[in-house]
Amino acid sequence: MRKGELSMNYELEFISINEDSCDADAICMRFFDKERGRYIIGVYDGGTQKYGNALVSHLTKYYFQNTKNPTIDFIVCSHTDQDHASGLCELFDHFHVGALIVNRPWLYIDDIFDKVTDGRITKSSLENRLKQAYPYVSALEEKALKNNTPIYEGFQGTTIYKQLKILSPTKEFYKSLLVESNKTPLSENSVAQDSFFTRILNEAKTTLESWTNELLREKVSTSPENEASIVLLGDMVEEQFLLTGDAGIRALRQSIDYASKTGIDIRRIKVHQIPHHGGRHNVSPSILDALLGKKIVKGTTPTKYAFVSVGKGTNHPQKMVTNAYMRRGAKVYEARTHTVRHQNGMTSRSGWTTTTPIAFSEKVEDWD
């Protein structure tokens, strides 16, 4: 804890729907703001529509019980994917929303239009194409505008109240990712994607790993859309948390470098969201060393927590990824069949019990 500052009560919750579904992220939070004399309520991603409905029910029951005109102070949409953005629309139908933080690709057409090679494309048609390519963010924009909710960009250095700061992306990095994206009709579409079937076949094979033998790779990549995720640091004084969406190693490296330049000790972060539902193409050994610290001796008591949201029937999180977090001193918890709550200084809930962390696995997914 920093000298002269009091611990801040807060809770961070990873919503589960306990159904066979795709992986999705829906996270809500509440922290006490001393200056305002009240709790600030926020949401980071809303999953699919089913997750959005579950989020509405959870907020109504635990955050807004017997509350007139319930208000979510802010919503952050990390990026454009359905499993993060779609469910957020449900919140506007049930609550007042103070602010929406989201990056909308069509706002930067003037900056990227010189990369267009098809002479038939106009700025107006490009805007329409981008809104069709990113329908969930387009629908979210419409909901916010209809409800007179102010919309803000989410770029590096932006603060949300005093407690939250965006570490990535920068605006320039974001625009470069638009140029890379296969969803943007431009000439430079350079990031290759594994096919769905190849990925499934690879994940079906297994090999052996030990505490000292890590098979996670350095040179991995994910899509430009994932790299555009808003990486959010929460500073609750006694504890810090990091929300990563589907960020890959480029976005995480940008976050680490920005933290270093601005005096943020990123290894002090106690609570981590594992990016992209625990996919192995989003983190590397060196990135995790920089984020969490070096590997600990087996049997050492963990001092950090890592959380991952996954669908009930999916093969995420990848075991080599959860193993990597454990090696660096984190207990790993998954929101698969039940909502997982991390809190500091908050009251306990009737009927809620302590969840069991994932165990280290010697059998992991093979790369070949």
Q: What is the pLDDT along the chain (368 residues), one digit of tens a residue?
A: 444 444 579 999 999 998 777 899 999 999 999 999 999 999 999 999 999 999 999 999 999 998 899 999 999 999 999 999 999 999 999 999 999 999 999 999 999 999 988 888 999 999 999 999 999 999 999 999 999 999 999 999 999 999 999 999 999 999 999 999 998 876 433 333 433 333 443 446 899 999 999 999 999 999 999 999 999 999 998 899 999 999 999 999 999 999 999 999 999 999 999 999 999 999 999 999 999 999 999 999 999 999 999 998 899 999 999 999 999 999 999 999 999 999 999 999 999 999 999 999 999 999 97
Tokens of 275: 């990016």
Q: Output the 3-class SS for the chain.
A: CCCCCCCCCEEEEECCCCCCCCCCCEEEEEEEECCCCEEEEEEEEECCHHHHHHHHHHHHHHCCCCCCCCEECEEECCCCCHHHHCCHHHHHCCCEECCEECCCHHHHHHHHHHHCCCCCCCHHHHHHHHHHHCHHHHHHHHHHHHCCCCEECCCCCCEECCCEEEEECCHHHHHHHHHHCCCCCCCCCCCCCCCHHHHHHHHHCEEECCCCCCCCCCCCCCCHHHHCCCEEEEECCCCEEEECCCCCHHHHHHHHHHHHHCCCCHHHCCEEECHHHHCCCCCCHHHHHHHHCCCCCCCCCCCEEEEEECCCCCCCCCHHHHHHHHHCCEEEEEECCCCEEEEECCCCCCCCCCCCCCCCCCEEECCC
Would residue 278 count as lying in a domain? yes
CA angle at 275 for the pair 272 and 279, rounded to the nearest 5°? 130
What's the half-sphere exposure (Cβ side, CA atoms, 13 Å) at 167? 31
In angstroms, rounded to a whole number, what is the distance separating the alpha carbons of residues 269 and 291?
Answer: 8
Report the number of distinct structural domains present in the chain.
1
The domain in which residue 40 lies consists of 10-346+356-365
Would residue 2 count as lying in a domain? no
Would residue 96 count as lying in a domain? yes
CATH of the domain at 105: 3.60.15.10
In angstroms, rounded to a whole number, what is the distance separating the alpha carbons of residues 36 and 314?
Answer: 42
Cis before 357 (ω within 30): no
Would residue 181 count as lying in a domain? yes
CA angle at 220 for the pair 322 and 252, rounded to the nearest 5°? 70
Would residue 14 count as lying in a domain? yes
Query: Hey, which residues does 242 pair with through a beta bridge?
Result: 233, 272
Whether the model clears a pTM of 0.75, i.e. scores above it, the answer is: yes
In angstroms, rounded to a whole number, what is the distance separating the alpha carbons of residues 29 and 173?
Answer: 28
In angstroms, rounded to a whole number, what is the distance separating the alpha carbons of residues 239 and 9?
Answer: 10
Would residue 3 count as lying in a domain? no
Q: What is the pLDDT of residue 3?
A: 46
Q: What is the pLDDT of residue 204?
A: 60
Would residue 274 count as lying in a domain? yes
Q: What is the pLDDT of residue 18?
A: 80
Q: Which amino acid is at 33?
A: D
Q: What is the pLDDT of residue 7?
A: 58
What's the half-sphere exposure (Cβ side, CA atoms, 13 Å) at 288? 31
Nearest of 277, 279, 283, 282 to residue 335 by alpha carbon = 277
Distances (CA, A) of 255 to 12, 247, 266: 21, 10, 9
In angstroms, rounded to a whole number, what is the distance separating the alpha carbons of residues 130 and 292?
Answer: 37
Query: Hey, which residues does 29 pair with through a beta bridge?
Result: 12, 42
Q: What is the pLDDT of residue 74?
A: 98
Are the beta carbons of 102 and 76 closer than 8 angstroms? yes
